[in-house]
Amino acid sequence: MDELEALLSDAGKRFEPEIHRRLHGLLGGILRAYLPQAWVFLTDAGVASLRVDAAGTVSAAAGAADPADVTIEVSFDRLARALRTREPDPGGPGAVKVTAHTAKGKAAFDYLRSRLGL
């Protein structure tokens, strides 16, 4: 497992219990409409993907998911810091480039962006 895949895998383990909790009740029905999701992270340390399936299970894998809902281009250091602290980095505009490939991916990323520190 490479460094980027390990970073995303660790983040997924932290986020998964929260996702599972949120998939219950009225809000859960709304959230399920946005799953599954596949996000591709392009960094200076490589390419890896984070997937959340319809049950809320999170997994990371090396390489680019196909199809992807969102592609995020960011430096590895900034991504690591953001996932660790969940606080926005004062890196300024353009430090993170996000390309949404699906409407559900755009909606999910816009909702989660600040929670991820991106």
Quote the CA–CA distance of 46 and 5 in Å, as a whole number.
9
What mean pLDDT is predicted for residues 9-22?
Answer: 91
- Segment 68-97 mean pLDDT: 83
Identify any residues that bridge with 41 across adjacent strands, giving them in sequence order.
48, 72
As given in the structure block, the two tokens for residue 72 are 């995020």
In 3D space, the residue among 76, 58, 93 whose CA is nearest the CA of residue 7 turns out to be 76
**Beta carbons of 97 and 70 less than 8 angstroms apart:** no
DSSP element (H, E) containing 99: strand 97-100
Query: Domain count of the chain?
Result: 1
Tokens of 74: 């960011």
Give mean pLDDT, residues 85-97. 70
CATH (domain of 93): 3.30.1050.10
Question: Using CA atoms, how far apart are residues 116 and 94, in angstroms rounded to an integer?
Answer: 16
Q: Give the tens place of pLDDT for each residue, 64-75.
A: 999 999 999 999
Q: What is the percent of the chain where pLDDT is above 90?
A: 61
Look up the pTM and report it: 0.90
Provide the domain limits for residue 23: 3-116
Q: Which helix (H) or strand (E) holds 16?
A: helix 3-22
Q: What is the pLDDT of residue 93?
A: 56
